[in-house]
Amino acid sequence: MRPALVCALLALCLPAAALADGPGNGPKGPPPFTGLLTANGSGSVTVTSKTASLTCAVPDRAAGSLAKLKVGTPVKIACRKTATGLVLAQLQPLPPPKHDSGTGSSSGDGDNHQGTGSTTTTTTTSPTAPTQPPPPPPSTAPKPKSAVGTVFFLSATGVAVRPDGGGEVLTCAITTAPDSVAAAAKLTLNGHFGIVCRPDGGHFVLSGATPAP
């Protein structure tokens, strides 16, 4: 049989909703799932559900059929793995979800009933659980800063330490607070220290100092 005739027969065997090579050919890919068609073009297709998203390349022979599908269409997708990535194996359009029309009719596997008169609805109110107070908002207060490095500036009102590993220089004020005075008394210019500075208003105040090896 000639190759052209074989290709024509294969094209006729593809149903309108089944595109590409079929989920059984080649290495297995991710499991099929349903969702909404969220992207369709540029040689790829994307389907997104509430918990996952899958993008697969589209074979040239399926591009024409896919172009007819609109973004937002419910579909079932399956892709297979290839040496170059995921390739579309199947894309099946699904019927849109049914919505309650509010006409009073109900559908199911039993009898359908439609009221011809007024319907009285009895509402049962369950006991209201005690309302829990909302959790407190997370603290936005600034946290203390610390650094270990060389003291390259020291005065009666402030200190600056250049960290050993580089980065931002830590500059703190020295006040008359007992912890600040005690920490400043340990420092020496060009000495190697670890310091801690606490937030105080709009600036940081030296609150601790320890000689570092």
From the number of C-beta atoms within 10 Å of its C-beta (0-12, 13-18, 19+), residue 101 rates as exposed
Which of the four pLDDT bands, split at 50, 70 and 90, describes residue 113? very low
Residue 164 domain flag: yes
Assigned domain for 40 exists:
yes
Residues 6+ away with beta carbon under 8 Å from 183:
195, 196, 206, 207, 208, 209
- Give residue 131's pLDDT: 81
Q: Is the pLDDT of residue 21 over 70?
A: no
Q: Please tell me whether residues 84 and 150 are part of one structural domain.
A: no
* Whether residues 87 and 152 fall in one domain: no
Sign of the alpha-carbon torsion through 67, 43, 92, 8: positive
Tokens of 86: 């995921």
Residues 150 and 84 in one domain: no
Q: Cα separation of 78 and 168, whole Å?
A: 52
Positive or negative, the CA dihedral 26, 29, 33, 34 is negative
DSSP H/E element including 137: none
Domain boundary among 93, 127, 161: 93
Count of domains in the chain? Answer: 2
3-class secondary structure, 5:
helix
Token digits of residue 158: 């402030």
pLDDT of res. 66:
84
Gap between the Cα atoms of 172 and 183, Å rounded? 11
For 146-199, write each residue's pLDDT tens digit.
999 999 999 999 999 999 988 889 999 999 999 999 999 999 999 999 999 999
Q: How confident is the model at residue 97 (pLDDT cuts 50, 70, 90)?
A: confident
Position 191 in a domain? yes
Whether the Cβ atoms of residue 35 and residue 71 lie closer than 8 Å to each other? no
Least confident stretch, 70-74, 120-124, 143-147: 120-124
Last residue of a domain, one of 93, 127, 155: 93
Residue 205, classed as helix, strand or coil, is strand
Return the CATH number at 58. 2.40.50.140
Last residue within a domain, chosen from 58, 93, 128 = 93
Q: Is residue 55 included in any domain, yes or no?
A: yes
What is the pLDDT confidence band of residue 99, given thresholds at 50, 70 and 90?
Answer: low
Full domain range(s) for residue 53 = 14-93
What is the SS3 assignment for 181?
Answer: helix
Report how far residue 58's alpha carbon sits from residue 65's, in angstroms, rounded to the nearest whole number.
10
Helix, strand counts (H, E) of the chain: 3, 10
Residues 20, 21, 24, 26: is their CA dihedral positive or negative?
negative
Q: Is 1 among the domain residues?
A: no
